[in-house]
Amino acid sequence: MAEASPRRARRLNVLLLTLPAVLLMLVFLIGPLVCLIVLSFTDYQLGAPSLSIIGLANYEEMNEDATVRISVVNTLIYVAIVVPASVALGLGAALLIEADRGLRGFYRSAYFLPVMATLIAMAIVWGFMLDPRIGAVNFALKWLGLRPLDFLHDRNLVLFTLCGIGIWQSVGFNMVLFMAGLTAVPSELYEAAAVDGARHGPSRFALVTWPMLAPVTLFAVVITAIRAFQVFDTVQVLTGGGPNKASEVLLHTIYAEAFGFFRVGYAAALVVVFLVFILALSVIRVFILEARRPVQ
């Protein structure tokens, strides 16, 4: 009994220490998630005094909703373009900065500025830059002898324009991740590679740098994909989902359903689908990390 008492006291201390964190998780994470899932099975409208349980009707409607299909496809296209481009450019920027140490501080600040800046403010600036009449981009096109383009109102260009802005905004974040990964590569590996004949940049990169950056690359891909799925600010500010739903994305559809049409129950079902995408990315990342972990 004498041994059991200290053990019981330690368990009680552990429970007391973890209780605040558990309560916060229940209040701010688990509770809202449960409410969201419950709302997705109702017909609740914002401001309505009552609601009714309608089962899977919201999900069935979602399956037949052309706007939802368009927004999901546009979101997947956005993710498929922004993620590989921003990760590759971020890696390239990190390699260039590490190779030229003279202006490292300036380049770091220049590339990371879009990450630190408020995206809504930057979206407004991009709106002026892409204006077909007075924008700097079209002025440059005219100077080069090319015809001006209506980047934000041409249904064939608008989504790719938003992808370009997304890449511009994400490159700096990925650059910082890769620069941190490059500093962790042991110099002894480069010396060993030089002994084996890998003395030039491409061979050193393929033999040492790229394999050592694999965990950082995986992290950058997953985080960038999650951020890309959350694209909303630029769409809301620059296009509003137009023209003719050409730039409609999933989060903007959720926003429109909840705060434009006040269909909170339907919007909650859309959020559940959105969370499934995010959860799938996180699960894939965990499985890849577990597969790469060496067996003890």
82 neighbors 267 (Cβ within 8 angstroms)? no
Please list the pLDDT of the chain residue by residue as tens digits (296 residues).
Answer: 455 577 788 888 878 888 888 898 888 888 889 999 999 999 999 888 888 899 899 999 998 999 999 999 999 999 999 999 999 999 988 888 877 666 677 777 777 778 777 788 888 899 999 988 888 998 998 898 888 889 999 999 999 999 999 999 999 899 989 988 888 887 777 667 676 666 666 777 777 788 888 888 988 998 999 899 999 999 999 999 988 899 999 999 999 999 999 999 999 999 998 998 888 888 887 777 666 665 44
What is the residue extent of each domain of the chain?
A: 65-292
Q: Is 187 exposed, middle or buried (0-12, 13-18, 19+ CB in 10 A)?
A: exposed
Give me the pLDDT at residue 198, please: 63
Q: Is 45 exposed, middle or buried (0-12, 13-18, 19+ CB in 10 A)?
A: middle
Domain 65-292 top-level CATH class: mainly alpha
